[in-house]
Structure 1
């Protein structure tokens, strides 16, 4: 028996960016799936896709980048349509199937629920040009784009209970497809600024007047409501209700009042810094939380069928909050010491200091043949720092100078690199080395020099560890107080004394 869920297609749209539209969609999708529904979330913001970020702990991003997405379905169909051939009238439906290209989130939803994600497209170097070259008018007029999107909508409705589309902002051909052709329900998201209210309400009125026969249910949703300025927020709420007369349609005055008092989504600073689902970020049953607001919005979308998120084990919830939490980037732990042979003692001492601090160090004599480049020592794509050991001999070497003047000598793989010179001789630096932070070890004793190096590399906690480690190679910056030489014989050669 052919599956037909007769599902509902919902588009989330905003006239301006920065409303929290994508976040609201992601949370509603999760709540629906957690209540046993089969849900598809579609990133139709082709110019600035970002829906996947809310789902990233539950997606294999490497697989996702290699998987065809929305724009690939469209261009594959267009390429086939260009080819002269005798075809069945419904041939386009095979190209409009979305389910084979959707990626399922790695989460065990209860009651048979599921959440699939259809990306904007395969994210490779060709993606921007594919999107930029797309002529949507030509696609509709020459290649039957209208029937293709109709078939895509039919496929979504057949296989999913709810399809939630994240639309591009503003006025465009793509926005028209998402707001007019695809949905049965249109969520118009806006903030309480005059520009956002005016733009969103104008779009809602235009769709209602020009496409009334489509019977699209239009739901205006105020977002990022900050009650810190209550008087201004209340004035914005009043302007919004006045700007959306008759929306949502079919409600009496009491129901309209209840709608506008229920549906708004608050601003919470916690969600301003990272793309995190409120289904994990908020504890349940807190009426003022982001999660509660998304539960109320989901209830409106479903006509009261889904009102809340089923309980999640608290330990699981907190574990996944940690998975979303952004950490401060760590400085690269891979170091390349560029030097000349005359400074080998400095190399030995610096390798010892840096290895004690946990760095992975590769010394490179810039005069030696570079048959085996240092990149092989590192994982491709991980950044590293280049530490030139700068002495007069280094500056006298043409190959040493070129290694940092060109800025490319050690970066054949194209990975991120920082250059931090260490001055070990009493020399004057010229650009570009003089334009960078310089670690100056001239006239420092060993402990001072080690501290200077480790502090500059953001490893100040390792200074004490170095001081407590057994002595390593001799520090070249100072003369030993005691020479450990015991001569057995001495004789004069006329000009020198030879010790043996």
Structure 2
């Protein structure tokens, strides 16, 4: 059996969206892994998953979409729980194992560190309906949901030094699981608006009062602090200190002042447009940078064991900043025509019609051994992919595979536009 790491589960939560919660989690996870820890990042925001976007240069998106995620683990367990028959008392633990379903980021961390990612679920056409049909009350009452999540938390702590969970916002059954049942540490992110402060502090106080016996360490973290309006920012800080009085537990006087001055996450316009990790976007050593703020937060999370990001080669850092940078949408003038040889007549007709309208077409016979790397195919420059969906195309293994796979991801994590055209002989 693998060594028990006796790790820590940390949930990042926000009452409102737009706090930069996911960005803070992603950077803290990277800093921890870069310091030699085995780290798991979990996207538990089932309705609006997005944590993977901060890691996309280090993930194979096609492999990720084919790998079961959190909701798949839950539904597989639920299906087994509905079956009757004799079982071992700990049968549920086999379904609560997260490590086999986590994808390891393609980056060589020093000192044996690693960063694994568990997605919200396999992103296919059924994903939304699976999440929408989930009845969490029924799951707990009739399927033993409590024992399942307890076993999942045990598995996370056993295999990882730190597990960071990106929770859904607001008040919901999913948020309750993430904020109460799973973590030992709860990071409550909020902006300095009245609504965000009031909502976040009310949730923190509710958890502290009702679940005090669980010993959850609650850390309020102000985010997106804009010093351009200093007076308003200072007023917001004062209101937050008042509403979060008593948090973090045990800190008073100067110690509380130090905490509140340490954990603020600043607003930086550079990070408002793309999901860029500050571990690559910021050079080291700048005390006012987003990276420095995440380093300070990581120090608080680890009780001072991790205080900074180990240096990265500057050329390597800049190269990966380019990998995060969003490209302008490709020109809509390029269209790939996926087809089978029987439909050559349709290809010639579509080429003529689209050519008259100013489009450049690139026919690709999907049965060709070089279909994915045709000399004529514009690759990443193709804005649209057109499936000539004739009966022979849909019967062919290659055509059906492309049809079922849906839109192909581009390097920036976006999607090409896919247009199916149904063709066939009619009387």
Question: What TM-score does the superposition give when structure 2 sets the normalisation length?
Answer: 0.81
Question: What TM-score does the superposition give when structure 1 sets the normalisation length?
Answer: 0.70
Could you list the per-position Cα deviations for residues 206-249 of structure 1 after superposition, in whole angstroms to 9, with x for gaps in the alignment? 00000000000000000000000000000000000000010001
Partner of residue 228, structure 2: 228
Decide which structure has the larger Cα Rg and report it: 1
**For 1:31 and 1:384, how far apart are their aligned partners in 2?**
38
Partner of residue 317, structure 1: 317
Partner of residue 305, structure 1: 305
**For 1:79 and 1:335, how far apart are their aligned partners in 2?**
43
Partner of residue 68, structure 2: 68
Could you list the per-position Cα deviations for residues 341-380 of structure 1 after superposition, in whole angstroms to 9, with x for gaps in the alignment? xxx9xx79x78x979xxx4478xxxxxxxxxxxxx98689
Is the 8 Å Cα contact of residues 69 and 118 (structure 1) preserved in structure 2? yes
**For 2:362 and 2:83, how far apart are their aligned partners in 1?**
57
- Relative to structure 1, the CA distance from residue 283 to residue 92 in structure 2 (aligned partners, 3 Å threshold; closer, same or farther) is same
SS class of match (1:151): helix
**For 2:378 and 2:232, how far apart are their aligned partners in 1?**
53
**For 2:301 and 2:68, how far apart are their aligned partners in 1?**
29
Is the 8 Å Cα contact of residues 334 and 378 (structure 1) preserved in structure 2? no
Partner of residue 27, structure 2: 27
SS class of match (2:221): strand
Query: Following TM superposition, by how much is the alpha carbon of 1:2 offset from its aligned partner in structure 2, in angstroms?
Result: 3.9
Could you list the per-position Cα deviations for residues 149-195 of structure 1 after superposition, in whole angstroms to 9, with x for gaps in the alignment? 00000000000000000000000000000000000000000000000
Is the 8 Å Cα contact of residues 354 and 361 (structure 1) preserved in structure 2? no
Partner of residue 176, structure 1: 176
SS class of match (1:284): coil
SS class of match (1:220): strand
Partner of residue 150, structure 1: 150
**For 1:211 and 1:143, how far apart are their aligned partners in 2?**
23
Partner of residue 214, structure 2: 214
- Relative to structure 1, the CA distance from residue 8 to residue 384 in structure 2 (aligned partners, 3 Å threshold; closer, same or farther) is closer
Structure 2: where are the runs of 5+ without partners?
338-348, 364-373, 387-402, 408-416, 420-427
SS class of match (2:218): strand
Cα RMSD for the two superposed structures: 2.6
**For 2:215 and 2:297, how far apart are their aligned partners in 1?**
20
Structure 1: where are the runs of 5+ without partners?
338-343, 363-375, 387-411, 418-500
The alignment of Structure 1 onto Structure 2 pairs a total of residues equal to 366
- Give 4+ residue runs of structure 1 displaced > 3 Å after superposition: 359-362, 376-386, 412-417
Is the 8 Å Cα contact of residues 333 and 358 (structure 2) preserved in structure 1? no
**For 2:57 and 2:101, how far apart are their aligned partners in 1?**
19
Q: Which has the higher contact order (CA 8 A, sep 6+)?
A: 2
Is the 8 Å Cα contact of residues 332 and 385 (structure 1) preserved in structure 2? no
**For 1:297 and 1:384, how far apart are their aligned partners in 2?**
43
Is the 8 Å Cα contact of residues 13 and 167 (structure 1) preserved in structure 2? yes
Partner of residue 291, structure 2: 291
Is the 8 Å Cα contact of residues 362 and 377 (structure 2) preserved in structure 1? no
- Relative to structure 1, the CA distance from residue 361 to residue 73 in structure 2 (aligned partners, 3 Å threshold; closer, same or farther) is closer
Is the 8 Å Cα contact of residues 149 and 182 (structure 1) preserved in structure 2? yes
SS class of match (1:39): strand
Could you list the per-position Cα deviations for residues 36-56 of structure 1 after superposition, in whole angstroms to 9, with x for gaps in the alignment? 000000000000000000000
- Relative to structure 1, the CA distance from residue 239 to residue 182 in structure 2 (aligned partners, 3 Å threshold; closer, same or farther) is same
Find out whether 1:274 has 2:274 as its counterpart: yes
